[in-house]
Amino acid sequence: MALSMGSKAHVHAGVTASQARLVCVRRPVAARAAKHDEQPPSAAVPRRAALVAIAAAPAAGLVRVPLAAAEAACTDLRQQAAAAPRRAAPRRAARTQIDTPSGLKYCEIAEGTGKEPVKGALIRAHYTGRLASNGKVFDSSYTRGRPLTFKVGAREVIRGWDLGILGDEGIPPMKEGGKRLLVIPSDLAYGDRGAGGVIPGGATLEFEVELLGRR
């Protein structure tokens, strides 16, 4: 079920409250074929699906999780984006942080060794999305156990993802097997309207993106 940016979230029919998932998209579009990884068994995946917000916790919607040690190299970047204190994590050797003119920031968590994606390629990626203001998780493909499949650079996801994966403004392209932290300003994400009732308007978002490879 498609949900346009700025509209209210819709819950898939026939699913209990504890299983409900809210599908946030950039705009209503035609459904994708049933074979894609991100598609639930009984529902079509929107062509320009952005990211699927989870409502697995009873009535709460948002949950907080500790930072993984593998992501600790980007602690400084997280702290800059955050408006509230965050739980400290063991540090690795610091890696280069890049701030771009558009406001997108990135830090490598793990460098990939595979091929770089090209614009229009159908790729698979795991991710965890947090609100930069408080570190609360609003979406995670790891929790569902299914990566997101989409055409990179084809506006099927938020612009911050396309830029952060393909590379631009001094950011190198990701490589297969790599994992990257992206701090995405609202104008490269969901803007002033927010999305799905879980992403406030004007919110800066953090995404840990793991590029698995091409579909």
Report the 3 state secondary structure along 54-115: ECCCCCCCCECCCCCHHHHHHHHHHHHHCCCCCCCCCCCCCCCEEECCCCCEEEEEECCCCC
Copy the structure tokens of residue 101. Answer: 């003119």
Evaluate whether residue 86 is within a structural domain: yes
Give the pTM: 0.60
Residue listed under structure tokens 């916790």: 57
pLDDT for residue 193: 94
Tokens 């990257």 label which residue?
A: 180
Domain-embedded: residue 57:
no
Lowest mean pLDDT among 71-75, 147-151, 170-174: 71-75
Domain count, the chain: 1
The residue annotated as part of the active site, out of 106, 109, 123, 138, is 138
Which residue among the candidates 54, 171, 184, 190 is catalytic per the annotation? 190
Determine, yes or no, domain membership for 3: no
- Residue 207 among the catalytic residues: yes
What are the residues whose beta carbons fall under 8 Å from the beta carbon of 85, sequence distance 6 or more? none
158 in active site? yes
User: Is position 179 within any domain?
Assistant: yes
Domain of residue 202 covers 63-214
Predicted local distance difference test score (pLDDT) of residue 72:
52
Which CATH number belongs to the domain containing residue 107 in this structure?
3.10.50.40
pLDDT at 176 over 60: yes
Q: Which of 54, 106, 123, 127 is catalytic?
A: 127
Output the average pLDDT for the chain: 70
Cβ-contact 196, 24 below 8 angstroms: yes
pLDDT grade for 211, boundaries at 50, 70 and 90 = very high
